[in-house]
Amino acid sequence: MAALLGRSFRKMSFPSLSHGARRVSTETGKPLNLYSAINQALHIALDTDPRSYVFGEDVGFGGVFRCTTGLAERFGKNRVFNTPLCEQGIVGFGIGLAAMGNRAVVEIQFADYIYPAFDQIVNEAAKFRYRSGNQFNCGGLTIRAPYGAVGHGGHYHSQSPEAFFCHVPGIKVVIPRSPREAKGLLLSCIRDPNPVVFFEPKWLYRQAVEEVPEHDYMIPLSEAEVIREGNDITLVGWGAQLTIMEQACLDAEKEGISCELIDLKTLLPWDKETVEASVKKTGRLLISHEAPVTGGFGAEISATILERCFLKLEAPVSRVCGLDTPFPLVFEPFYMPTKNKILDAIKSTVNY
């Protein structure tokens, strides 16, 4: 399945993804795709901390998406290794390793398969520090998992389960939008003193290419970023969906609508202030994510912004999200929060 996904990602253009990223920093670097940027971050993490470990299913040979390529050869099979095919074991083992003062970077092969580890994440990792009165913690734990649609992944290679984890005090949830972001955010997650779930947009593993600084750098968690400035409406998203949202912003611009686009980056704990400031400026909010709309994280953002910006809002908050079906195969194009769905919602919100 993994090989199939790798060969035939759907083709999309990225008109301004790298443009947006360049605004983060003026630093230049070599053009890298997202999986290579992840790989570079893992090399740096292992190199800079001898107490760090990387493991998961098929990680030893480089991983089904090649994110762990070359790690076992360079750092040895005691620090980079295959595990049995058992997600609760992988995360449970990682918690124990982290609790002994190590950095455990574990890979769940697809986010669709993270659920067997849900108990370990929710009841062990998230409560480890709190329940012990800060006597113990497993802050060195980072769980990496590829998420999201790729055009042909069906029920079990397409899911975006981030909302489940955003309901769990004690963990952080982070999703990068591009190679440069992925490297800097992943290094921050690995070094953060709290357990983190890091969802990687697998659609972008090979498709997104941008200049990534070669050195060791970190991008702060819980800080959203305005990646496109505008005055008429605020759009909030994360991960791969930002590419689609940016295309909608460009099309809206042609129709004279000025969109502000925010990359939330960290969903838990999230940066309310940046979104609030933007909505107070534009008076309108649209949230877009691939996960089903009902109970999605968009609902949380919507409720929070209503509380904070009620009198500034000139239209109802709009959500353009996945539908409330299991992720469908043949019907994926209908399910997805596409550019034109977003564009329509932008127009109807602005013209409300």
Partner 1 sequence: MALHLRSSPSLKSTFLNILRQNLGFGSRSHVTRHIRQNLPHDPPLRGSQNPIRRFCNTMAEPETLSSFGQHEDARNHQVMDFPGGKVAFTPEIRFISESDSERVPCYRVLDDNGQLITNSQFVQVSEEVAVKIYSDMVTLQIMDNIFYEAQRQGRLSFYATAIGEEAINIASAAALTPQDVIFPQYREPGVLLWRGFTLQEFANQCFGNKSDYGKGRQMPVHYGSNKLNYFTVSATIATQLPNAVGAAYSLKMDRKDACAVTYFGDGGTSEGDFHAALNFAAVMEAPVIFICRNNGWAISTPTSDQFRSDGVVVKGRAYGIRSIRVDGNDALAMYSAVHTARGMAISEQRPILIEALTYRVGHHSTSDDSTRYRSADEIEWWNKARNPLSRFRTWIESNGWWSDEAESDLRSRIKKEMLEALRVAEKTEKPNLKNMFSDVYDVPPSNLMEQELLVRQTIDSHPQDYPTDVPL
Mark the segment that binds partner 1 (CB under 8 A) among 30-38, 115-123, 175-183, 316-324: 115-123
66 touching partner 1, by CB under 8 A: no
Q: Which of 57, 87, 124, 162 is catalytic?
A: 87
Q: How far apart are CA 36 and CA 31, in angstroms?
A: 10
Residue 157 a catalytic site member? yes
Find the binder of partner 1 among 3, 11, 133, 256 (CB under 8 A): 133
334 touching partner 1, by CB under 8 A: no
Q: Which of 124, 157, 246, 260 is catalytic?
A: 157
99 touching partner 1, by CB under 8 A: yes
* Distance of closest approach, residue 162 Cβ to partner 1, in angstroms: 17
Binders of partner 1 among 173-212, rule CB under 8 A?
193-194
Q: Which residues of 217-239 are buried (b: 16+ CB within 10 A; e: fewer)?
A: bbbebbebbbbbebebbbbbbbb
Give how far the C-alpha of residue 172 lies from the chain's centroid of Cα atoms, to the nearest Å.
Answer: 11
Residue pair 152/8 in contact (Cβ under 8 Å)? The answer is yes
Q: Which is nearer to partner 1, 117 or 257 (CB)?
A: 117
260 touching partner 1, by CB under 8 A: no
137 touching partner 1, by CB under 8 A: yes
Find the binder of partner 1 among 6, 151, 269, 328 (CB under 8 A): 269
95 touching partner 1, by CB under 8 A: yes
Residue 229 a catalytic site member? no
List, in order, residues 6 or more apart from 326 with CB less than 8 Å away: 155
131 touching partner 1, by CB under 8 A: yes
98 touching partner 1, by CB under 8 A: yes
Q: Which is nearer to partner 1, 133 or 256 (CB)?
A: 133
47 touching partner 1, by CB under 8 A: no
Give how far the C-alpha of residue 340 lies from the chain's centroid of Cα atoms, to the nearest Å.
Answer: 23
Q: How far apart are CA 294 and CA 43, in angstroms?
A: 38
Find the binder of partner 1 among 15, 47, 48, 61 (CB under 8 A): 61
* Distance of closest approach, residue 11 Cβ to partner 1, in angstroms: 31
Find the binder of partner 1 among 15, 31, 70, 101 (CB under 8 A): 101
Binders of partner 1 among 75-94, rule CB under 8 A?
77-79, 81-84, 86, 88-89, 91-94
222 touching partner 1, by CB under 8 A: yes
Find the binder of partner 1 among 102, 247, 302, 349 (CB under 8 A): 102
Question: What are the residue numbers of the active site?
Answer: 87, 157
By CB under 8 A, name the binding residues for partner 1. Answer: 60-61, 77-79, 81-84, 86, 88-89, 91-102, 104, 116, 119-120, 123-124, 127-137, 139, 169-170, 172, 193-194, 222, 269, 272-273
